[in-house]
A and B are shown apart, each in its own frame.
Chain A
Amino acid sequence: MESTAPSWMMVTWFAVVSLTIIVCLAYLARPALVRPPPKLRPNQAQPMISVVIAGRNESATIGHCIQAALRCGYSNLEVIFVDDNSSDDSVAIARRAALAVTGSRYDTNRLRIIPSPRRNGKASSLNVGIRMARGEFIVIHDADSKIQYGIMPHWLLPFEDPQVGGVVASIRVDNSTANLLTRLQELEYALKFNFGRFIQAKLGIMPIITGMGGIFRGEVLRRLGGFDSGLGDDSDLSTMLLKQRFKLTFSHDAVVWTTVPETRAHLWSQRMRWRRNCVKIRVSKHRDMFLLGRYGFARAIITIGLVLKILPPIAFVIAILWTTFVTGLLSYPEVVTSLYWIVVPLVFVRLLVIREISNTPKWINFPLVFIFPFYTLWLLLPAVYAEWAELLRIGSKHPYVPDHVWEEIPWW
């Protein structure tokens, strides 16, 4: 039987591959187009940066997180750790880390530790940190992430543009060699959080500043009153920034290392939380972003693009049915095979490009590109469940929000 993948697939494939090759060639020919060198500033001109970390029961990682932030090579920096009423010894470990770096058990000019007497949720804990921050720029940082040494000048570089409200760093996987799951996540992070954001930033449609590595203008955060309770902290704040007509952008020279889930249950729980937040914020709270004229065409595209994430599973089924209808019943395996062999080279080329630019993922993880499509499909299971559960309002309580706060917040 003759057959083959439909022509629209080939067109898409060629378009994406061509784009990635163009980016790669542009980088090889003119690296400064992709990676502008940071401007030299005199020490007196270093703006103050506050690193706000909020966490609950993060004793395993908080010490390294604080030390990495304090020792990132930027002098005019303070770290504020807000402990959300942990039941473990997070505060003691944080104070020990502070003692090792600053030599004092008390708050200092460089580090303040704020233990909360009651659980308030992550958003409110971050608001405590923002309230106490005095930096011109505020880094919102996760307790399981680490700031790489020397990145601050790169991270601050996009703020030369006064329209830029937030810059997301290049997220790297710290525990990428732990098991198969973390290796696949490294490929995923390289594609989504490096290559994807790089393209989005160039097109001006960056949708989100992630909570694990984002820096904001402090004045803007204070003016917004910080995060809203009961929502995913990063996407909600990013959307509010977009509504304020600020641009979000990406710095792939600013590297933040994060620890990804190592078990299936943890990973699914994380992805369900992300997808629920996406639906709750884009479809419910900020649905006015769909209006093309209200916040601008680019912002509407961002929202539409994110909402379209809900549709791929449905679109996939429809595509299979349509192809089967057109080419006959027996062509089904060939279609799947064709799709697979379109996706694999596409992913491979994108990984090669981002490897050239950002030095991630590791070469040893490249062979996993052959099973990466299956991993992506496997991750759609919790995502689709979370989307429909959120749309139908089934078990919609956010796991990071305590009951007494959840009862008070509006029903988005």
Chain B
Amino acid sequence: MNIRAPLPDGPDDAWVEQRRVRLLQQISELGGTILPAGEPAAKHGYRFDAAGPDVDGDLVALAKLNYLETRFFDRVRLCPRCDGHHLNVREVCPTCHSAYLTSEGLFHHFRCGYVGLPSEFLPEPDGGVRCPKCNKGMHHLGTEYDRLGKAFACHSCAVVSENPPVEAVCLGCGARMPAGDTVSANVFSYLLTSRGAEALRSGRLLEAEEQPVLAGDAGVFRREMILEFIRHQMQRQQQLGEPFSLLLATWLDGDGAAADQRGAWLDRVRRCLRSVDLVGQLGDRLYVVTLARAKGREAEALRRRIEKELGPTSPLSLSACEIKGEKDLAVALAAVLPSQEN
């Protein structure tokens, strides 16, 4: 695969998947690790040496799906308003907020106790200075006079401060804020995981089959996944004797309701279920709920409770049955969709 070749147009799911697989391929060619490199023009000051329209977003998405592993690389401070990293951080005057400060060590004359900026002491021809208060010469640092540490003198309003506040100015949007109010963001490097390598070998991401198909309070699994769960439950039933039931829900509206309407009804169903009960979609209008460790009468009681919860306007037709073998499963599916679903 030519990873540098431009991707086809159209940001659909297949296109995104193809783009991400190509990114995994690039990381593999880089030795399995992709490191950020400093780039002032980049939004956060770092960029990754990989081709693609949204490399940063794809890396985060792939790391979230465990195709990549994150390693801490650096932390950057960002403007809370524009999210840019072009910040000018410096001390400012606590009074007038001017950045026109110079750092000077105050002089302290022991003899008279006068304290002032070095510029206030008149220079002597022999290299010393003269105190403006008592007019005595000061020649020996440490015995006649001393420096009282660093102080910041403001050239705008003449205020002297020892510990001035630190302010950040965003060069991108012009926002001014205390340095502590800037937001921080971690920059990571990414390592290819075994799962990422497997996806690379198969040429596609594994999530296409695993991820839920319907957004809502609870996800609804695809046909392949829910059938895998049902097979798993049947194995447990045969090996351990655990009871296992199914609740089948058929959508009655012929044209098919919108996805969000179905999601709302399924959410109401979901509220009557346990956390271990899984909802899956077997066909266009057929949904199934796996009820682990539930006998037939318990599944039937659940069905009645759900029907009561959904009310008379419910678009779902519910049926419950206990599964004791392949035959029971086939009979149950045939009852709800005799023509096409099984």
Contacts and interface: CB of A to CB of B under 8 A. Distances in A.
B165 A114 contact: no
A104 B92 CA distance: 14
Interface stretch (A32-40, A260-268, A296-304, A402-410): A402-410
Contacts of A249: none
Contact of A409 (B111, B146, B160): B111
Contacts of B149: 116-117
A112 B165 contact: no
Contacts of B148: 116-118, 120, 128
A131 B116 contact: yes
A58 B134 CA distance: 31
**Secondary structure of the B contact surface, majority rule:** loop
A383 B46 CA distance: 74
A134 interface: yes
A264 to B, nearest CB: 32
A281 interface: no
Interface string A129-173: 011101000000000000000000000000000000000000000
In this complex, the member of A108, A113, A225 whose beta carbon has the largest number of chain B beta carbons within 10 angstroms is A225
A120 B107 CA distance: 12
Interface in A20-35: none
A107 B164 contact: yes
A107 B106 contact: no
A120 B147 CA distance: 11
A405 B110 contact: yes
A342 B186 CA distance: 82
Interface stretch (A3-11, A186-194, A226-234): A226-234
Given A109-B94, A118-B146, A131 B106 contact: yes
Contacts of A116: 148-149
Interface string B111-133: 11111100000000000000011
Contact of B133 (A107, A118, A225): A225
A113 B162 contact: yes
Contacts of A121: 113
B198 interface: no
Interface in B202-253: none
Chain A CB count within 10 A is highest, among B108, B111, B146, B164, for: B108
A106 B132 CA distance: 31
A124 interface: yes
Contacts of A132: 151, 159-162
A108 B132 CA distance: 30
B166 interface: yes
A272 interface: no
Contacts of A410: 111
A78 to B, nearest CB: 9
Interface in A209-241: 225-230
B163 A120 contact: no
B165 A108 contact: yes
B159 A229 contact: no
A120 B115 CA distance: 11
B110 A228 contact: no
Given A114-B162, A131-B115, A408 B94 contact: no
Nearest to B140: A408
22 contacts: A104-B178, A106-B164, A109-B94, A112-B94, A112-B162, A114-B163, A116-B148, A120-B146, A124-B108, A124-B115, A127-B113, A128-B148, A131-B115, A132-B151, A134-B95, A134-B158, A226-B114, A226-B133, A229-B111, A404-B143, A408-B111, A409-B110
Given A112-B94, A115-B162, A408-B144, 16 more contacts: A108-B165, A114-B163, A120-B146, A123-B113, A127-B113, A127-B114, A128-B108, A128-B115, A134-B95, A225-B113, A225-B132, A226-B133, A229-B110, A405-B110, A408-B110, A409-B111
Interface of A: 104, 106-109, 112-118, 120-121, 123-124, 127-128, 130-132, 134, 225-230, 404-405, 407-410
Interface of B: 94-95, 106, 108, 110-116, 132-134, 142-144, 146, 148-149, 151, 157-166, 178
